[in-house]
Amino acid sequence: MPVEVIGVDHIFVTVRDPDQLTRVSQSLSAVPGVSVVGSQHPAPPITGHADLELLSQVLAWPERGSQTLVDGAPGALGADWGALVEYDADGAVGSVIALSPQCPGPDHVTLTTPLRLASVRMAAPGSDQPFGGTALVPVGPRVALVLVRTEGPPFHQSELWRLGQLGQIAGTALAGLAYADPR
């Protein structure tokens, strides 16, 4: 009986432009046994430590930590924009607390998912097409970080695991503070 081996890895390739990215993706997909799950242009950060640097900034200034987290998370974690949302006592999304500068507005945060670590589907207002990828990351008992890749790939399980760890650490740093935009 044949055995199927499945391996998933993130591979970073520098390309000149989106056209070259398309050609590289098509060439890789033509290799037997290889599937391209998704690609991003520009590529997400590859240092491997951008998330730790972000946490360092959140921990250094916890009174501004929630805005620092939402401002820095997209660039550090390979997303286009982010938001911080608060869930109400009934478990429904109550309000948008903070937005990254790239976020098109609070009306674009259209969650219906319960608070849990997950890759979720979310679409812009008036659109039936979901964003490429959306991650929901708990950052406390009633607060979540939402990360959106407008056209990029969905968040992979390994990314979610790392995001969950980041959310727990950030949530601990921000515990007891008001999640208000300090600007």
> Tell me: the pLDDT tens digits for 28-43?
878 887 777 766 666 5
Do 157 and 70 sit in the same domain of this protein?
Answer: yes
Q: pLDDT band for position 149 (50/70/90)?
A: very high
Q: Please, what's the b/e burial string for 58-78 (b: 16 or more CB within 10 A of its CB; e: otherwise)?
A: beeebebbbbbbbbbbbbbbb
Q: pLDDT band for position 180 (50/70/90)?
A: very low
* pLDDT for the residue 101: 94
Q: pLDDT band for position 147 (50/70/90)?
A: very high
Do 30 and 113 sit in the same domain of this protein?
Answer: no
Q: 183 lies in a domain?
A: no
Q: In this structure, is the dihedral angle defined by the CA atoms of residues 9, 20, 135 and 126, taken in order, positive or negative?
A: negative
Q: What is the pTM of this model?
A: 0.74
Do 93 and 28 sit in the same domain of this protein?
Answer: no
Total of domains in the chain:
2
Among 3-7, 29-33, 105-109, which range has the highest average pLDDT?
Answer: 105-109
The CATH number linked to 155 is 3.30.450.40
The parent domain of residue 144 ranges over: 50-174
Do 143 and 112 sit in the same domain of this protein?
Answer: yes
Do 9 and 37 sit in the same domain of this protein?
Answer: yes
Q: pLDDT band for position 176 (50/70/90)?
A: low
* pLDDT for the residue 9: 59
Question: Residue 27 is encoded by which pair of tokens?
Answer: 């060439």
Kindly tell me if the per-residue pLDDT of 183 is higher than 50.
Answer: no
Task: Report the chain's mean pLDDT, rounded to a whole number.
Answer: 83
CB 137 within 8 A of CB 167: yes
Do 56 and 88 sit in the same domain of this protein?
Answer: yes
Do 99 and 25 sit in the same domain of this protein?
Answer: no
Place of tokens 């812009």: 124
For the chain, the three-class secondary structure string (H helix, E strand, C coil) is CCCCCCCCCCCCCCCCCHHHHHHHHHHHHCCCCCCCCCCCCCCCCCCCCHHHHHHHHHHHCHHHHHHHHHHHHHHHHCCCEEEEEEECCCCCEEEEEEECCCCCCHHHCCCCCCCCCEEECCECCCCCCECCEEEEEECCCCEEEEEEECCCCCCCHHHHHHHHHHHHHHHHHHCCCCCCCCC
Q: Is the peptide bond between 42 and the residue preceding it cis, with omega within 30 degrees of 0?
A: yes
- CA dist 120 and 34 (Å) reads 25
Q: Of 98 and 38, which is predicted with more confidence?
A: 98
Do 81 and 128 sit in the same domain of this protein?
Answer: yes
